[in-house]
Amino acid sequence: MKKLKGFIKELLSNRYGLAGVIILVPYVILAIFAPFLTPYGPYEMGGLKEVLLPPCKEHILGTDDMGRDVWSQLVYGARVSMTVGFLAAAFGVLLGTFVGLLAGFYGGVVDEVLMRITDMFLVMPTLPLMIVLAAVLGPSIWNIILVIAVTGWPGTARVIRSQVLSVKERPFFEAAVCIGEGDLGLMFFEVLPCVLPIVFAESVLWVADAIYSEAVLSFLGLGDPTHISWGMMLNFAFSSGVMARAWWWVYPPGMSIAFVVLGFTFIGSAINEIVSPKYKEV
Amino acid sequence: MNAYWRFLIKKALITILTIFVTLTANFFIFRIMPGDPAKLLLNDPRLKKENIELVKKQLGLDKPLWQQYLIYMKESFKGNFGISFVHNVPVSQIIAQRLPQTLLLLSVAIAISTVVGIAVGAICGWKRGSKLDATLLTASLISYMVPTFWIGIVLLMVFSLWLGWFPVGGITTIGGGAGIPRWLDVLKHMFLPTVALVLWYAGEYVILMRGSMLDVMKEDYILTAKAKGLRSLTILKDHAVRNALLPVVTLIALNIGWMVGGCIEVEVVFSWPGMGKLIYDAVLKRDYPVLQGCFVIITITVILANLIADLIYGYIDPRIRRGTM
């Protein structure tokens, strides 16, 4: 607990960390308390007179072409976008960490094979691969999460591998080897704790990437129609053909994506800055 | 054997292997995954009768899976990716039509953003910590983080739909003539998509170039140059920028996969008739053969571009040529 407090203090004293927190806190509050902050449901359609209303008292961000409240969609969209971001990042980082750990720890042939596979994924253009996978798997929020995680792990694997290699050079590791600790013990109790801070920083940066990817996929019409995300709002606006008459429908979701991506990137870089020097001292 | 040659052969082998894996993955993605799109390939009502027989023979659907795989590989190497459901013509023919349009947009955008990004990044690195640096860096960060497709939408709304300065989409006006007027027309259609792409690419290049400049500025030879009393412009131009360029140029080349992604987003927004728009339409209409063909062609192009970038980098950087890295 004390460590966590110290960490938060450090994060807030970092210029980028503070900026990131300031950007993200409102969005996290929106996502958590969505039902209490929205006067309408995100799918609740209005009557004919409520179509494409500009911002007014009843609809603070106006309505879309089906009379749905844009503010409510935006707030629930925060939920969808961030959930997808967190879960996709968690799975991707987990997979990347595992591969990086194995490759760095065993070295030799294992390393060679895993890193060649990683390299293959790294040179592949991510978006076309995601589009193909999402199109074949079908529109569901879990498929989107899977697709983002599958295409994103190689970067993490590379970072973790290089960290593992440097941990292996340290005296305490040699000591652990000398007292006869097994492979699994060495990997999970000696090496993993040392790379965890970097894993954490990677995960946060990854959330930013994942949220962006989800937005693009949903904008391209590959999203889950039962979960309105920011990308999907833009997809609706774009394909409605009337977006020129409804700036209130187009600006909020796009700016929200940008802010949230920026926020996570700031915090991720700040964590990187905080954990890196400490990590060298250990 | 010379170290550069060894490096070259290793890279080439990995490239061939990656292309092979891509083709294999493409085969299995579309056959083993839920819904079995391979069967859909035959049952799609939009496919003309005479083409159904052709597809059946081409895919070898009456044969076991491993034979289907061999047939698929052989056909892929011949550049045969099946027949589009929607257009009822060979996929390769459609791609051959669309690819040049994407390359045109992509190359112009990359050229402009490289120049802009490197110049701005060099200024930021040179004047690091100043107000100018902070402003330019923040602007770059924002233009890099804002979704490219959304920038496109906003540009489209403001400059095409409200102000009417630019066309709403496409590549030419119908019946727009030939020769120079036609090219001017294409330029006019290209302007907004290019701006959207440049805003994104250049944002990233600025960040890269600035970082590279900061590394270079710490080097002793910059201090030496200053001590020799060289004019600061000379130091900037001949000592700092020149050395900072190398890693940036390589990263630009290696990032081609990302750039293609941005291009897809922008093409969709501006209905630019390239590969991105083709993929989008294929997804909307579940035109699987087109989707497969696009995926393979884009991936192989990107893989080859990466190989070329690697080779150039290896040639420029003596450390790789001598095998010390």
Spell out the residues 6+ positions from residue B39 whose beta carbon is closer than 8 angstroms to its own.
none
Q: Taking a contact as any Cβ pair under 8 Å apart, which residues of chain A between 183 and 212 contact chain B?
A: 212
pLDDT averages per 10-residue partition of chain A, 282 residues = 76 83 87 74 68 69 70 84 92 92 87 86 85 86 91 87 84 80 79 83 87 91 85 84 76 88 88 66 37
Nearest residue in chain A measured CA to CA from B156: A244
Residue matched to tokens 């203090």? A9
Note the maximum CA span of chain A. Answer: 78
- Reduce the secondary structure of A181-233 to three states and give it as a string: CCHHHHHHHHHHHHHHHHHHHHHHHHHHHHHHHHHHHHHCCCCCCCCCCHHHH
What is the rounded CA–CA span in Å between residue B30 and residue B35? Answer: 9
B222 domain-assigned: yes
The reported pLDDT for the residue numbered B319 is: 63
Question: Across the interface, do B153 and A244 touch by the CB < 8 Å criterion?
Answer: no
Instruction: Write the DSSP assignment of A9-55 as a string of letters.
Output: HHHHHSHHHHHHHHHHHHHHHHHHTHHHH-SS-TT----GGGTTPPS
Q: What are phi and psi of A133, to 5 degrees?
A: -60, -45
Domain count, chain B: 1
* B41 in a structural domain: no
DSSP bridge pairs for A63: A69
Residue B299 located in a structural domain: yes
Give the chain B residue whose CA is nearest to the CA of A213. Answer: B147
Q: What is the pLDDT of residues A180-198, one digit of tens each?
A: 777 777 878 878 888 888 8
B253 domain-assigned: yes
Q: Who among A116, A215, A219 is closest to B14 (CB)? A: A116
Interchain pair A120, B21: CB under 8 A: yes
In a domain, B209, yes or no: yes
Residue of A nearest to B287 (CA): A135
Residue B60 — very low, low, confident or very high, per pLDDT cuts 50/70/90?
low
Question: What is d(CA B279, CA B273) in angstroms, rounded to the nearest whole number?
Answer: 10
CATH number at residue B109: 1.10.3720.10
Buried b (16+ CB within 10 A) or exposed e, B136-152: bbeebbebbbbbbbbbb
Q: Which residues of B touch A222 (CB under 8 A)?
A: 283
Provide the domain limits for residue B190.
Answer: 95-322
User: In whole angstroms, what is the distance from residue B45 CA to residue B49 CA?
Assistant: 9
Is residue A234 less than 8 Å (CB to CB) from chain B? yes
Give the count of Cβ contacts less than 8 A between chain A and B.
124
Looking at residue A244, the DSSP 8-state letter turns out to be G
Chain B residue with the nearest C-alpha to that of A118:
B18
Give the Cα separation of A199 and A263 in Å (integer).
18
A148 CB-near residues (< 8 Å, 6+ apart): A84, A88, A92, A130, A210, A213, A214, A217
Over residues A239-255, the pLDDT tens digits come to: 877 777 777 777 888 88
Residue B167 contacts by C-beta under 8 Å, 6 or more apart in sequence? B160, B173, B188, B189
Residue B130 belongs to some domain of the structure? yes
Is the CB of A139 inside 8 Å of chain B's CB atoms?
no
d(CA B250, CA B8): 16
**DSSP for B167-208, written as a single string:** -SSSSS-TT--SSHHHHHHHHHHHHHHHHHHHHHHHHHHHHH
pLDDT at residue A280, as a whole number: 42
CA distance linking residue A82 with residue A93, whole number of Å = 16
The dihedral formed by the CA atoms of B132, B138, B141 and B144, expressed in degrees to the nearest 10: -80
Strand, helix or coil for residue B3: helix
Q: Which residues have C-beta within 8 Å of that of residue B287, sequence separation ≥ 6? A: B84, B85, B86, B281
ipTM of the complex: 0.83
The answer as to whether B286 is a domain residue is yes
**Which of B147, B153, B256 lies at the smallest CB-CB distance from A212?**
B147
What is the per-residue pLDDT for B37? 54
| Residue B282: inside a domain | yes
pLDDT, position A195: 84
Mind telling me how many Å the CA of A126 is from chain B's nearest CA?
A: 7
Does A178 contact B at CB distance below 8 Å?
Answer: no
pTM of the model: 0.85
User: B65-82 pLDDT, tens per residue?
Assistant: 787 888 888 888 887 777
B155/B265 Cα distance (integer angstroms): 13
- For an interface test with B, the pick among A115, A120, A147 (most B C-beta atoms closer than 10 Å) comes out as A120
Cα-Cα-Cα-Cα dihedral of A76, A81, A84, A87, to 10°? Answer: -100
